[in-house]
Amino acid sequence: MSEKENCKEIPFYMVFVDGGNTPNFKHFHPEDAEKEAKRLAESTGKKAYVLCTIKSFEVNKFTVRDCRPSDGDLPF
């Protein structure tokens, strides 16, 4: 596993209201997410969930490599 793959990301929390929109705000402290979940549950009358990150995935579209010849290897 490379150093980049082994790098631990900062966890965050999101609040989802049953039947609601996709969450888009990141809480970096679980207490803040819980407070928001309680507020939303009370204001909507619906169940609110605190979600926590487990893993992330990303596509690395380009790999860039330096292919320039060394100074002594120039063809001209």
Residue 69's pLDDT is: 75
Tally of CB atoms within 10 A around 20: 14
- Quickly count: other Cβ atoms within 10 Å of residue 58's Cβ: 5
pLDDT on residue 4? 56
pLDDT at position 35 is 99
Model confidence at 51: pLDDT above 60:
yes
CA angle 26, 54, 11 (to 5 degrees): 40
pLDDT higher than 60, residue 1: no
The band of 5, judged by pLDDT with boundaries at 50, 70 and 90, is low
Per-residue pLDDT, averaged over 26-55, amounts to 98
Any idea what the Cα angle at residue 56 is, between residues 21 and 4, rounded to 5°? 150
Residues whose CB is less than 8 angstroms from the CB of residue 67 and which lie 6 or more positions away in sequence, other chains included = none
Query: What's the pTM?
Result: 0.70
Contact call for residues 14 and 27 (beta carbons, < 8 A) = yes
